[in-house]
Structure 1
């Protein structure tokens, strides 16, 4: 049973001598489907002046990774602080994606929502004395207030905004239809509600999860911004305008922190949940995009600002992952990890403060499922039929290792010389390949990660082969 005892609360705010004034406010800004190359500070053509400011005033992580290549599993990993095999969310919806005759194995069954028994980051922070608010995309259950948030603005079980981005809309955000004029963008509503919350809680400690639906589909041009990038009917121009709209919204939150004198005592972390939709935004030099476990699908922008703790304009090249946010926020707030809570992540505080020890480690991904390729869209992933097939992956030092369960294929890439993962050097480095293979198998055994092995009776080898050849033509 999930519970937080009174003893835990007393320890967190009493015995340790932590005062409210010593604990920072925490704002976690999470973009949706925003690729690592989709921000101005990474030399993209997209205009993100407020994010560029945040980067200039904080630390940029150049090797930051999402815990999964699409929405729900990535978010579940962040809020549980755990790798996917522990909570069982591997994808969105069914694990059996793509044509049945192309799937050689029966995939592992996918859990759709985060089990309510899983202790979440928001629950721990709330029990530690934080006022908590969720704004935007949740995707881990029907109601964020059942998983640690005092206030929910627009979050529900699905991954995209009902009715699109402009008032009037449907679903959770529809409660604001009568309060905002037609055509108002929901990112402006979220910013407005965030500002209201900051004003009301400026004397308290608060945790804000600003989880934009942007830049997820539907791709809808933003009037007044899209003209900078091209015709409103051009999906790439519309995509660019959506990025800038999100940046505008973030700017309003940063401005309110300044206006309320909260800048110095607020930790702001900005990141994304996975890579970009490859048909809309190239992530070169990285390969592929959302849904793929090549670098373009899991690399994410990551910036942390915390005045007085994190040096302005600093940079960290150590590989890190979204599962690290949970322990990082707890250490920043001086809240202990609850007894019995297993965290796979590691606090980033030694990296942020450039002091103390940060362990050398491998980062892991496990995806015992199928995820089909976008219809009619070449996304440069594993093959033209699937963005990913069942397998696992590992990043350790300069090495990236992939294992695929259908045929037992092993791939090894030297990211220092081949960030695009084009040249499989597994045969050139058999000892390193064997070493990493053994490490990933040990990791799976430790977490009891399920590996699909049952043949799919609907699989048709010749049909799949023909479809693959035709797709490659």
Structure 2
């Protein structure tokens, strides 16, 4: 439903062949990628991803956060209220975004990160080279979005968080992107660009420390503007795909507990928010920093302010990118999509949803999403309540650019433009999630959650989006149907052509 707001290559013999999803069970009206392409030429694409931004953290929603650029996108485009990502944390979510495939299908079904820093350990360089964070990556057989767009002449740049492998064969310019500047893993210190002491910034295939000391959001803004200026100077007029995945407002990846416990932000943006009474407090960790050590950490109020300041600085970068496109008379012909990679983490506001990043509650997987494309018929100032997901973005961008789906690739999403532009119901009727021993499924308005040691149940999201009332006992048939749909999805994922790095085949 749409409404106007009141305001504004080959496998080994052990591999199994792919199995496409059945339309009735997995929310797909037609075979993925089969929709007719739109007659709108080859629009530019600007895909912006925030890191851990809360569902309610948009200025237009009235919680006090300052986001004029995002508010502009909502006023000039459509805000999606029932929009989900494919995993409740960053790496698998971003992998699904760039492949259009569930994490269990594309092979990145968990985080590519090391856990030793959770215990206060800093890797020496020779030690780090043998860790999973260094050697893991997206299966090289997967087709990523820039590679799929390339046959239509798209020039692709990425500036920000990569998170799909740091060896040369996994880096963006080895996977279809033409230009890359950013960091390669799940998080960094915003100024040193290190992840728990490990230098992590790259330009194309080479590590770089040239910009050490400069706030990372400003660097990604700088590179995005450079890319747009270079594209504007090209005589051929090829379309571009600009992927701008910020690390803001993710917590800072530093072994210093005072930094790690909050989000780094420039003082000028902190000053936009009310001062806090106390910046730090003393606490004793169970295992970090040697275990039992008393350290200084940010207070909850300081963390909330810092989080908001980081969002506002990111918003300023987004605003400058939009202004640069506007100045080049290219904005209205550019598809602009903004989303968060998962639910909000520390310092965020996910209300009215339950839970947070890392959980199967709505607050972990339902995220803000804005879409602007007036030349393509996306209405301004609209709010769309249809069930849509990040899996839709890959096939929808191919459709908009007149690009056929890659041969032999099973996609898990559908073309969302008829839903956004023509008001048609979303072909998606179901969505499924799995993280280790945590599972969840949404079928229609029913949501089933199973998180051992945390909680779960059956919830009617139409009446109870906050997942407050477990209806498992009252509606056993509905529970059985949702669980059966999950089991069918799981069987399809198990039967899919296997991908690494987590799967045994």
Q: What range describes the TM-score normalised by the shorter chain of this pair?
A: 0.7 to 0.9
Q: Deviations over 1:204-233 (max 9, x none)?
A: 200010000111121113211101224483
Structure 2 counterparts to residues 116-265 of structure 1, below 5 A: 116-142=140-166, 143-156=171-184, 158-161=185-188, 163-165=189-191, 170-172=199-201, 178=210, 184-202=214-232, 203-218=237-252, 219-231=263-275, 233=279, 234-265=302-333
User: Displacement of 1:60 after TM fit?
Assistant: 0.6
Q: Is the 8 A contact 1:134 1:211 kept in 2?
A: yes
Instruction: Please show how residues 316-355 of structure 1 align to structure 2 within 5 Å.
Output: 316-354=384-422
Q: Check whether the contact 1:286–1:421 (CA below 8 A) recurs between aligned residues.
A: yes
* More relative contact order, 1 or 2 (CA 8 Å, 6+ apart): 2
* Residue matched to 1:423: 469
Q: 1:326 to 1:168 in 2, by over 3 A?
A: closer
In structure 2, the CA distance between the partners of 1:18 and 1:48, relative to structure 1 (3 Å rule), is closer
CA distance in 2, matches of 1:438, 1:81: 24
Report the secondary structure of 1:263's partner residue.
coil
| CA displacement, residues 292-340 of structure 1 (integer Å, 9 cap, x when unaligned) | 0101111111000001321111121011111111001101111011221
- Report the CA distance shift for 1:91/1:44 in structure 2 as closer, same or farther (over 3 A): farther
In structure 1, how many angstroms separate the alpha carbons of the residues matched to 2:225 and 2:115? 42
1:299 pairs with 2:323:
no
Task: Return the offset for 1:431.
Answer: 0.9
Structure 1 residue 168, shift from structure 2 partner: 10
Q: Does 1:443 align with 2:496?
A: no
Contact 1:221-1:238 at 8 Å conserved across structures: yes
CA spacing shift, 1:400–1:17, aligned 2, 3 Å: closer
CA RMSD, Structure 1 to Structure 2 (Å) = 3.1
Q: 1:226 touches 1:241 (CA, 8 Å); kept in 2? A: yes
Point out where structure 1 has 5 or more consecutive residues left out of the alignment. 3-15, 100-108, 370-389, 451-473
TM-score normalized with structure 1 length: 0.78
Count of residue correspondences: 400
CA deviation string 1:363-383 (max 9, x = no partner): 11122x2xxxxxxxxxxxxxx
In the TM superposition, what is the alpha-carbon distance from 1:192 to its structure 2 partner? 1.8
**1:269 Cα offset (Å):** 0.3
* SS in structure 2 at match of 1:255: helix
CA contact (8 A) 1:85 1:447 kept: yes
Pair 1:88-2:107 in alignment: yes
C-alpha distance in structure 2 between counterparts of 1:355 and 1:18, whole Å: 16
C-alpha distance in 2, partners of 1:17/1:118?
A: 23
Candidates 75, 98, 107, aligned match of 1:56: 75
**Separation (CA, whole Å) in 2 of partners of 1:449 and 1:39:** 40
Return closer, same or farther for 1:423/1:18 CA change in 2, 3 Å cut-off: closer
Q: Partner of 2:458: helix, strand, or coil?
A: strand
C-alpha displacement at 1:355, in angstroms?
Answer: 5.5
- Structure 2 unmatched ranges of 5 or more: 1-8, 11-35, 119-131, 253-262, 280-301, 497-505
Q: Any conservation in 2 of the 1:35–1:299 contact (CA below 8 Å)? A: no
Aligned to 1:375: none
| Aligned counterparts of 2:305 and 2:275: Cα–Cα separation in 1 | 7
CA offsets 1:425-445 (integer angstroms, 9 cap, x no match): 111001111111111111111
